[in-house]
């Protein structure tokens, strides 16, 4: 059983007392605080509330794929450009405004999760429990907080860095922005500690919680984001050398409810459909369903991405499709939404809308191998790592004699291997390719999203991104 079933306990105990204001960062009302955070079980429930934030519409359920895939050259909104479609098209085209609901949701829900993690870290000290268990819970909270801060720093740049529980509106209203570089340095410290505290793996109902490998993988990504390849290298070698992950032999075997939390998976956001309030919405949104056979769906693969796949790349059909079955059982190839859609997260999914069980894979071993190649730089070893990933896809090796720069070859491999997994926009930023790639597509790119207007209204000292 996925440990997300424990989230159901939170609906009345914690989440109903949450405010949607960034300034109200404490996750429970004062009445509940007085009788809570007393036992080890209370702290586990509080930590589960932090995990729950990863399922929010402002994080992995919606906003993150909008900000990090649709913003890039991987996906677009498609033919429907009315209502929500118009807002997504604006984000795709760098013309969104500061009151954009999706951007505001990303900011609010990410900080909501940070607030919940901070509550655990601030209140766990005096709790009577085994020190090893206490350290594990703190390590999980540090990982969740770091994961959310990473997305905020990539998306918004200058953001508040809140590291302890905020217990008053006044305290929140006086937060200050700090540069993304300062955020990353804090995350490096936190993830080094989390890696030390977290276990290599879990069993039973705890499968899906943050592990040592999850902390190390995120740590390596942040080192690479800061340009510190030398520090990323030993972290990545720890993961490949002793943390027990491996590539699955079949790329298609990574996906689907029956394949979750497999040997290649390092961290997944756990979703469970069936009326538990923990199902996902993106499965239905990404692909046409039998009820929605006319093809009105979002996050459509671009033709530019389709052309990036080499002939006979096995990853193509496991990632996307270009036709679907209508409710009458007829194969449709030229729908009004151009019949391009994602299948990684469910194909023609029959679940009730917004209640699918497909997890979101956040970190996996193929990404580690490609990051290790990035940290090494052009070399026989780096090409060997890239070719491990290519071999599974049924493709021949690349090397120094293959046309293009090493960076371009690596970035292309990351694009097709990790398509639709929220890596493309951060990759374009990290590789310094935003302007080149997006201007080629006729767009006028900005590196940062606008700070939501509500935050500027609450904190008058905040400055807007240009």
pLDDT in tens, the chain (466 residues): 355 433 333 433 344 333 333 333 444 444 356 678 999 999 999 999 999 999 999 999 999 999 999 999 999 988 777 778 899 999 999 999 999 999 999 999 999 999 999 999 999 999 999 999 999 999 999 999 999 999 999 999 999 999 999 887 777 777 899 999 999 999 999 999 999 999 999 999 999 999 999 999 999 999 999 999 999 999 999 999 999 999 999 999 999 999 999 999 999 999 999 888 899 999 988 876 544 444 457 899 999 999 999 999 999 999 998 876 554 444 454 444 457 889 999 865 555 678 899 999 999 999 999 999 999 999 999 999 999 999 999 999 999 999 999 999 999 999 999 999 999 999 999 999 999 999 999 999 999 999 999 999 988 899 999 8
| Helix, strand, or coil (residue 280) | strand
Q: Which domains does the chain have, with CATH numbers?
A: 3-274+362-441+448-458 (1.25.40.390)
What confidence score (pLDDT) does residue 3 get?
57
What confidence score (pLDDT) does residue 174 get?
78
Model confidence, pTM: 0.92
What confidence score (pLDDT) does residue 328 get?
47
Is 159 in contact with 180 (CB distance < 8 Å)? Answer: yes
CA 371 remoteness from chain centre: 17
Whole-angstrom Cα distance, residue 221 to residue 386?
17
Is 377 in contact with 279 (CB distance < 8 Å)? Answer: no
Is 368 in contact with 236 (CB distance < 8 Å)? Answer: yes
State the first-to-last Cα distance of the chain, in angstroms, to the nearest integer: 46
Select from 270, 440, 243 the least CA-distant residue to 360: 270
What confidence score (pLDDT) does residue 5 get?
39
Q: Give the Cβ contact number of residue 159 at 10 Å.
A: 24
Is 140 in contact with 191 (CB distance < 8 Å)? Answer: no
Whole-angstrom Cα distance, residue 48 to residue 3?
9
Joined tokens for residue 183: 């955020």
Is 97 in contact with 450 (CB distance < 8 Å)? Answer: yes
| Helix, strand, or coil (residue 338) | coil
């Amino acid at each position: 059983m996925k440990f997300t079933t424990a989230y159901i306990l939170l609906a009345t105990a914690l989440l109903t007392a949450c405010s949607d204001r960034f300034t109200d960062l404490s996750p429970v009302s004062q009445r509940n605080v007085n009788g809570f955070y007393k036992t080890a079980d209370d702290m586990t429930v509080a930590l589960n509330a932090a995990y729950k934030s990863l399922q929010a519409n402002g994080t992995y359920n919606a906003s993150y794929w909008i900000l990090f895939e649709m913003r890039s050259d991987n996906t677009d909104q498609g033919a429907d450009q009315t209502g929500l479609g118009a807002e997504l098209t604006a984000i795709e085209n760098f013309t969104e405004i500061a009151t954009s609901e999706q951007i505001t949701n990303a900011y609010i829900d990410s900080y909501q999760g940070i607030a919940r993690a901070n509550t655990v870290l601030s209140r766990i000290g005096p709790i009577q429990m085994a020190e090893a268990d206490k350290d594990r819970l703190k390590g999980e909270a540090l990982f969740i907080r770091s994961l959310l801060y990473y997305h905020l720093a990539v998306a918004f740049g200058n953001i508040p860095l809140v590291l302890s529980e905020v217990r008053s509106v006044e305290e929140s209203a006086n937060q200050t922005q700090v540069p993304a570089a300062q955020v990353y340095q804090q995350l490096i410290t936190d993830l080094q500690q989390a890696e030390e505290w977290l276990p290599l793996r879990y069993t039973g109902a705890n499968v899906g919680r943050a592990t040592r490998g999850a902390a190390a993988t995120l740590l390596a990504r942040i080192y690479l984001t800061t340009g510190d390849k030398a520090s990323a290298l030993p972290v990545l070698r720890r993961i490949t050398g002793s943390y027990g992950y491996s590539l699955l032999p079949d790329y298609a075997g990574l996906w689907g409810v029956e394949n979750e939390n497999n040997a290649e998976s390092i961290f997944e956001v756990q979703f469970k459909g069936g009326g538990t309030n923990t199902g996902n919405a993106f499965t239905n949104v990404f692909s046409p369903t039998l009820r929605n056979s006319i093809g009105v769906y979002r996050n459509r693969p671009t033709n530019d991405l389709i052309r990036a796949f080499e002939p006979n790349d096995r990853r193509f059909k496991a990632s996307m499709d270009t036709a679907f079955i209508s409710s009458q059982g007829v194969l449709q190839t030229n729908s009004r939404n151009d019949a391009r859609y994602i299948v990684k997260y469910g194909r023609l999914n029959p679940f009730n809308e917004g209640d699918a069980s497909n997890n979101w894979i956040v970190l996996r071993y193929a990404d580690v191998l490609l990051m290790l190649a990035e940290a090494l730089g052009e070399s026989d070893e780096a090409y060997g790592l890239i070719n491990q990933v290519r071999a599974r896809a049924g493709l021949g090796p690349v090397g120094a004699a293959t046309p293009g720069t090493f960076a371009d070859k690596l970035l292309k491999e990351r694009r097709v291997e990790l398509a639709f997994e929220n890596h493309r926009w951060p990759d374009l930023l990290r590789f310094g390719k935003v302007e080149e790639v997006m201007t080629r597509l006729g767009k006028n790119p900005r590196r940062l999203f606008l700070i939501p207007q509500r935050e500027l209204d609450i904190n008058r000292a905040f400055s807007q991104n240009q």
